[in-house]
Amino acid sequence: MTRKQLIDNIKNKQSFLCVGLDPDIKKIPQHLLDCENPLFEFNRQIIDATAPYAVAYKPNLAFYESLGTEGWIAFEKTVNYLREHYPDQLIIADAKRGDIGNTSRMYAQSFFEHLGVDAVTVAPYMGEDSVTPFLGYEGKWVVLLALTSNKGSHDFQLTEDTDGTRLFEKVITTSSRWASPESMMYVVGATQGRMFEDIRRLAPDNFLLVPGVGAQGGSLEEVCRYGMTPDCGLLVNSSRGIIFASDGTDFAQRAAEEAKKLQQQMAEELKKFSV
C-alpha cells in the first residue's frame, strides 16, 4: 500500500486506528476453543467487527509462534483473510526482526513475498545492512523501532552520545538516509508524551506507529497534540483494550464498540488538525 493510499483511507474512514491482533490462547473466549483453529476464528470475528473503524491490523508474531505449527497456520490464515476480504487494510507483521544481511533478506522474502503483508517492524541494533534488505519492495514498509512504549526503553534508547544526541534520535536520522517517508515508519510509544515533539523535528513526514494507548497507559490526545501532521502521520495501535474487551460470546461486539469509541475520538482529533 502506498503512502497516498494510506492517507486516503485515513481521511475517508476518519480513523487512524490499528488493531493489534495478539490473540493469547489463554484469554480468548472459552467457546472458541472447540473450533478447528481457535486463534484464526477469534481473529476473523474481531476483524469482521472492527474493520469499519480501523485502517490497519497488526498481528504480533509472538502470539502465533507460541503455539508452534498451529499458530503459524493461524497467522497465515489471518493474513489471507484480510487480503481477500479487506484489501484496503494495511497489514503490519509485528515481528521486530533484524539480522545480518543475507538473513534479513530471508525474513523480508518471508514476510513480503511469501506472506504478502504490507509492513514489518524491524529492530535497529544491527544497523544498516540488517534493515535495508526489507526496503526496495514497491508499496511495502519498514517500521523501525525508535522509542518504544515500555519501561526498558530508558535503558539504551535515551543514552546520549558525545554530541548530546540520544540513541533513538540517532536511529531516526541515520535510517532517514536509507529510505524516504514513502517506505519508512517509526515505532514511538504513546507513553512518551512530549518526546513526540523531538521526533517530529527529525521525522516531520514519516508515519509513526504508536502502541501503548489503553492497557499501557498512553494518551491519544497527547499523542495527537505533539505528533500529528497535515497528513495525519499517525497509526495508533490498540490491542488488549479492543480484542479482550469481553471474554464472553459478545467479544466481537464489545471489540467493535471499543474500536468505534477510539475511531470517534480520532475523528475529533483529525478535525482539530484539519486533516
Active site positions, annotated: 96
Q: Write out the DSSP string of 173-210.
A: HHHTTT--TTTEEEEE-GGGTTHHHHHHHH-SSS-EEE
Q: 195-234: which residues touch a second copy (CB under 8 A)?
A: 211, 216
Per-residue contact flags (x/-) with a second copy for residues 105 to 134, judged by CB under 8 A: -xx-xx---xx-------xxxxxxxxx---
Going from the C-alpha of 230 to that of each of 99, 206, 224, the distances in angstroms are: 35, 11, 11
- Residue 103 is a binding residue for a second copy (CB under 8 A): yes
Task: Give the integer Cα–Cα distance in Å for 143 and 181.
Answer: 11
Residue closer to a second copy by CB (options 119, 256) is 119
Residue 247 DSSP label: S
Residue closer to a second copy by CB (options 153, 206) is 153
Task: Give the integer Cα–Cα distance in Å for 51 and 43.
Answer: 11
State the minimum distance, in angstroms, from the CB of residue 165 to a second copy. Answer: 9
Q: 132-161: which residues touch a second copy (CB under 8 A)?
A: 145, 148-157, 159-161
Exposed e or buried b per residue across 199-233, where buried means at least 16 C-beta atoms within 10 angstroms of its C-beta: bbebbeebbbbbbbbbebebebebbbbbbbbebbb
- Residue 183 is a binding residue for a second copy (CB under 8 A): no
Using CB under 8 A, count the residues that bind a second copy: 59
Residue 46: phi and psi, rounded to 5, are -60, -45
User: Can you tell me which of 4, 5, 31, 101 binds a second copy, judged by CB under 8 A?
Assistant: 101
With 0-12 CB in 10 A as exposed, 13-18 as middle and 19+ as buried, what is 195?
buried
- CA-based nearest residue to 158, from 144, 169, 172: 169
State the minimum distance, in angstroms, from the CB of residue 167 to a second copy. Answer: 7
State the minimum distance, in angstroms, from the CB of residue 269 to a second copy. Answer: 25
Residue closer to a second copy by CB (options 161, 268) is 161
- Residue 50 is a binding residue for a second copy (CB under 8 A): no
Question: Looking at 35-43, 96-104, 249-257, 263-271, which segment touches a second copy (CB under 8 A)?
Answer: 96-104
Task: Give the integer Cα–Cα distance in Å for 270 and 257.
Answer: 20
Q: Which residues on adjacent β-strands are paired with residue 225?
A: none
Q: 69-88: which residues touch a second copy (CB under 8 A)?
A: 69, 72-73, 76
- The residues that touch a second copy, with contacts defined as CB under 8 A, are 22, 24, 60, 62-63, 65-69, 72-73, 76, 94, 96-101, 103-104, 106-107, 109-110, 114-115, 123-131, 145, 148-157, 159-162, 164, 167, 170-171, 174, 211, 216
